[in-house]
């Protein structure tokens, strides 16, 4: 009689291979979650929230051009949103949408574009990461107002105080110059993107020719207007830092107010405000047409 066959010992994976396999499985799970339909829908609402805030900033800018008051920045826009009858609900819903869009963009930065050539991959991942930071910042602002800790008060002073604090830190001056130049360059890129209509490749354009024309017109006007605002804000930060006048670094609101002080500034400010309203409307349309 033949002896009983011994069972083979369980296969042992090298510890390093097991860890890599677990990390890969976790990354796959995270990618599946971030590609879910529910998150996509909420992320699309994030585009609409961004559009609403740009619309409000544009409306405040026009109000300033007409001699009114207000803070023409996102804190001022969120403050106006909070003052509505359904303010708390709007703030928390907007926070959830912007947070979802930040997660979606972060997912793009981590998981997408890996099959592209290195140059294209790095550029697209960096852009997605930057967008994630922007929408995360909006989410934080919305949450602070929803919890009652935010303020739409003197944002110029807040921006100046932040500039002073950064300038006193080691390497702070160089950092602020880089931030200002980066913002100004981003403004130029936005303007070029609008003029060349390159934003259209990120949309599923409507079939109707009038609708396509309307979407294109909103995008061109909006991107150029936002480009001007970013360019002005970046220049103010850079000049104020180089001249050691941190009080002149007053953020978006200060940039628009500085525009009002120029020759024909009232008309220029009103035009930029109208352009920001167009950008806001474009972002609402993007919520529906964006290629996610």
Beta carbons within 10 angstroms of residue 220's beta carbon: 21
H helix and E strand count, the chain = 10, 0
Q: In whole angstroms, what is the distance from residue 186 CA to residue 147 CA? A: 32
Residues 156-204 have pLDDT tens digits of 555 556 666 666 667 777 887 888 898 899 999 999 999 999 999 989 9
Q: What is the mean pLDDT of residues 216-234?
A: 91
Q: In whole angstroms, what is the distance from residue 218 CA to residue 150 CA? A: 31
Record the tokens describing residue 229, joined without a space.
């605002």
Beta carbons within 10 angstroms of residue 257's beta carbon: 17
Residues 77-123 have pLDDT tens digits of 898 888 888 889 999 999 999 999 999 999 888 877 777 777 777 88
Q: Count the alpha carbons within 13 Å of 117 in the hemisphere toward its beta carbon.
A: 2
Burial class of 29 by CB neighbour count within 10 A (0 to 12, 13 to 18, 19+): exposed
Record the tokens describing residue 241, joined without a space.
């830092």
Q: Count the alpha carbons within 13 Å of 240 in the hemisphere toward its beta carbon.
A: 28
What's the pTM? 0.80
For residue 178, the SS3 value is helix
Q: Pick left, alpha or beta for residue 253 (phi over 0 → left; psi -120 to 50 → alpha; otherwise beta).
A: alpha
pLDDT surpasses 50 at 1: no
Record the tokens describing residue 42, joined without a space.
């909420």
| pLDDT band with cut points at 50, 70 and 90 for residue 236 | confident
Q: What is the mean pLDDT of residues 260-279?
A: 88
């Amino acid at each position: 009689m033949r002896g009983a066959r011994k069972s083979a010992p369980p296969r042992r994976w090298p510890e390093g291979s097991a860890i890599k396999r677990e990390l890969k499985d976790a990354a796959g799970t995270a990618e599946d979650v971030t590609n879910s339909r529910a998150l996509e829908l909420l992320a699309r609402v994030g585009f609409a929230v961004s559009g609403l805030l740009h619309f409000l900033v544009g409306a405040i800018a026009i109000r300033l051009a007409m001699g009114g008051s207000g803070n023409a920045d996102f804190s001022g826009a969120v403050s106006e949103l909070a003052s509505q009858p359904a303010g708390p609900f709007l703030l928390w819903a907007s926070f959830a949408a912007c947070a979802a869009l930040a997660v979606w963009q972060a997912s793009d930065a981590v998981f997408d574009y890996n099959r592209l050539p290195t140059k294209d991959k790095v550029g697209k991942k960096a852009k997605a990461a930057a967008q994630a930071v922007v929408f995360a910042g909006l989410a934080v602002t919305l949450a602070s107002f929803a919890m009652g800790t935010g303020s739409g008060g003197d944002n110029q002073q807040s921006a100046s105080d932040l500039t002073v604090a950064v300038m006193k830190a080691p390497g702070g001056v160089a950092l602020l110059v880089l931030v200002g130049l980066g913002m100004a360059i981003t403004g130029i890129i936005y303007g070029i993107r609008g003029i060349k209509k390159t934003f259209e490749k990120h949309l599923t354009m409507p079939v109707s020719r009038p609708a396509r024309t309307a979407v294109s017109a909103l995008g061109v006007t909006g991107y150029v207007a936002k480009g001007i605002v970013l360019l002005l804000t970046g220049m103010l930060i850079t000049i104020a830092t180089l001249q050691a006048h941190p009080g002149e670094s007053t953020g978006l609101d200060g940039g628009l107010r500085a525009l009002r002080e120029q020759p024909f500034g009232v008309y220029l400010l009103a035009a930029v405000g109208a352009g920001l309203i167009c950008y806001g409307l474009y972002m609402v349309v993007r919520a529906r047409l964006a290629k996610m």
